[in-house]
Amino acid sequence: MSELKINGNIRQFTLPLSVADLVEQLGYAGKRIAVERNGEIVPKSQHAVTQLAEGDCLEVVVAVGGG
């Protein structure tokens, strides 16, 4: 198992794992979310071809109510 930091929490995953695989595992497939990996945006078009590595730091965000 490899460690990934997602939204500030460390979680265990089995590599190889693409961003698309991660999105699927988290239950967000088809949802309107955005992903940042190690400070860089991963565009939707790149989710399937972007492989994650041990220690990667990810942010997964959504729109919520705000002013």
Partner 1 sequence: MHQLTIAGKKYRSRLLVGTGKYQDFAETRAAIDASGAEIVTVAIRRTNIGQDARQPNLLEAVPPRQFTILPNTAGCYTADDAVRTLRLARELLDGHPLCKLEVLGDPTSLFPNMPETLKAAETLVNEGFEVMVYCSDDPIQAKMLEEIGCVAVMPLASLIGSGMGILNPWNLRLIIDNAKVPVIVDAGVGTASDAAIAMELGCDGVLMNTAIAHAKDPVLMASAMKKGVEAGREAFLAGRMPRKLYSADPSSPTSGLIGS
Our finding on whether 64 is near partner 1 (CB under 8 A) is yes
d(CA 43, CA 15): 21
Q: Which stretch binds partner 1 (CB under 8 A): 13-21, 26-34, 48-56?
A: 26-34
| 59 part of the interface to partner 1, by CB under 8 A | yes
Burial class for 52, CB neighbours closer than 10 Å (0-12, 13-18, 19+): buried
55 φ/ψ sector (left φ>0, alpha ψ -120 to 50, else beta): left
Kindly state whether residue 49 participates in binding partner 1, applying the rule CB under 8 A.
no
Residues engaged in binding partner 1 (CB under 8 A)? 6-9, 11, 26-28, 31-36, 39, 41, 43-44, 59-67
